[in-house]
Structure formats: C-alpha cells, structure tokens
Amino acid sequence: MSDRTPIIAGNWKMYKTTAEAAAYMEEFKGLVADVTGVEIIVCPPYTSLGNVKELAQGSNILVAAQNMHFEPEGAFTGEVSAPMLIDIDADGVILGHSERRQYFNETDLALAKKVRVALDAGLLPIYCCGETDAEREAGSTEEKIRRQIIDGLSEVGSARLASVVVAYEPIWAIGTGKTATPQIAQDTISLVRGTLADQYGSEAAGQVRILYGGSVKPENIGELMAEEDIDGALVGGASLDAPGFARIVKYR
Ligand code: PEP
C-alpha cells in the first residue's frame, strides 16, 4: 500500500441547476460525513460552484472547477480565471479533460500554462490525459500519453510535482459504459508514473496521485482501487447521483 491519500472526484460536466446542485449537496454531505482517509471532490458547473462551496463548508468535501483560463483577467468572453476561482474559495480545477481537448481545441501547450497558473494560485490541478480507441488499436497509446505528460506538465518543477494530480482517462471508456480492465488501467497509469519518473526522478513521481477515469461505477471501483498505482477515480456519469457516488467514495 502506498502512502498516497486516495482521491475520489466527481465531474458533473454540464449537468444540474443550482437547485439540483444544492439538493445533491444536502444529501451527499450526510452520506459521506463519516468517511476519512479519502479526499472527496465534487466538480460542479460554474453556475453552482460558489454555492456548492458554501454548502460544503465544514464538511469533508472539496470543490473544484472543470476548467479555467491561464490569464488572470482580460477580454476572454466566456472564460473564468484562477483568481476568480480563488475568490469563491474553490479548492481545485480539472484541466485538459478530453471533452475540452476535443470540443474546445485545448492543447498541451496551453494546458502547461494552466497547470502552472493553478499551482501558483494554490488550486489543486487535476490534469487529464488519455488515448482514443484508434490510438490504442494503432499501438500509439504510449507515445500519446508520454507526450501529454511531458508537454502538459512542462511548466511544473519537481518541487511542485506532488501538488499535481493526474487523471488517466482513456477516451474510449468515457461515458461509454466500457471500463478499462483493472490491468489496462494499472499498466497505463504505471506508464504515466514511469514518464514522470523519467522527467522528475522516481521519488517525486512516487508522490503524485494518479486517478483512473472512464465509466467508474460502484460495482467496479473496488477492483480498480486494488491496483498498485491507481490512487483514485475521476467519475463522470456515476457521480451525478448522490447515493451512487457515496458508494464509490466508500469503496473500502
Ligand atoms: C469523465 O467525464 O471524466 C468520465 C470519466 O466520465 P464517465 O465516468 O461518465 O465515463
């Protein structure tokens, strides 16, 4: 067993009104109140972020955004900055989710700045990487993952590496119901850790929490968490239901 504290994070994507988010939090807080030794994070859309953070005060639930811009302010219509997230007491931010890369053209280079800016601001960055079905079929998973890790984390020095969380999310497993086998998840996460070790040394790499994401459910979280290098999960669809997400959080 590693001494890395596990993280179970729920990415709500573009779901839940403010009323739905508040009702979820009232129920979820009670369901996980007795959980210790696991960092619990919910990632609501911007419209609910401040309110969810207020509702989470005094609980064991952290709150993260799903994206942010790297500039502190400016003429960037539709964007939100790190100081704005700090202003509402957000704890972290998901960066480089595959849906952001695919639909909003986010590049590793822009993400490298976002990761650095998040760290500078004191936000926990959850940096996502993962290959498509075609890339896995073509045998280029390793090349893709190494590139995303090397380029996307290029502005992080080894002293701050432990403050970064990486989420390995195979794109073919996101929202498809097709979970990576624990072996595939372990092997690819071990590749992520190996890449970090090449870049930053094995001691620093050994401190990084690396999550698995892709159709995680109450039924499969246990076998995924049993793998040596898997330090938690980034959960999409199954995090939208408070009792179901609480079961994932209580995987032990
Ligand atoms: C995600 O959006 O990060 C995700 C893993 O989604 P799902 O759990 O629905 O596959």
- Average pLDDT rounded to a whole number, residues 147-168: 97
**pLDDT score for 178:** 85
**pLDDT score for 223:** 97
- Average pLDDT rounded to a whole number, residues 43-65: 98
- Report the SS3 class of residue 45: coil
**pLDDT score for 175:** 87
Q: How far is the CA of 239 from the centre of ligand 1 (A)?
A: 9
* Angle in degrees, CA 26, 9, 101, rounded to 5: 125
Look at residues 194, 204, 96 and name the one whose alpha carbon lies nearest to residue 156.
Answer: 204
Report domain extents, the chain: 7-249
Residue 1 has pLDDT above 60, yes or no: no
- Average pLDDT rounded to a whole number, residues 152-168: 97
Residue 167 has pLDDT above 70, yes or no: yes
Residue 84 has pLDDT above 70, yes or no: yes
What share of the chain in percent tops pLDDT 70? 100
Identify which of 212, 234, 239 to mutate to test ligand 1's pocket (most ligand atoms within 8 A of the CB): 234
Question: 176-201 pLDDT, tens per residue?
Answer: 888 889 999 999 999 999 999 999 99
Task: Note if the pTM is more than 0.75.
Answer: yes
Residues with catalytic roles = 97, 169
**pLDDT score for 179:** 84
Pairing mode, strands 165-168 and 39-43: unpaired
Q: How far is the CA of 1 from the centre of ligand 1 (A)?
A: 26
- The residue type of 187 is D
Q: How far is the CA of 174 from the centre of ligand 1 (A)?
A: 5
- Report the SS3 class of residue 27: helix
Q: Are 128 and 95 in contact (CB under 8 A)?
A: yes
State the sign of the Cα–Cα–Cα–Cα dihedral 207, 192, 13, 115: positive
Residue owning the nearest CA to atom 2 of ligand 1: 236
11 lines ligand 1 (CB under 6 A): yes
169 lines ligand 1 (CB under 6 A): yes
The full DSSP string for 73-121 is SSS-TT--BHHHHHHTT--EEEES-HHHHHHS---HHHHHHHHHHHHHH
**pLDDT score for 177:** 86
Which CATH superfamily includes the segment(s) 7-249?
Aldolase class I (3.20.20.70)
Pair of tokens at residue 92: 């972290």
**What is the spatial distance between Cα 120 and Cα 129, in angstroms, rounded to a whole number?**
21
Lowest mean pLDDT of 55-59, 85-89, 126-130, 171-175, name the range. Answer: 171-175
What share of the chain in percent tops pLDDT 90? 96
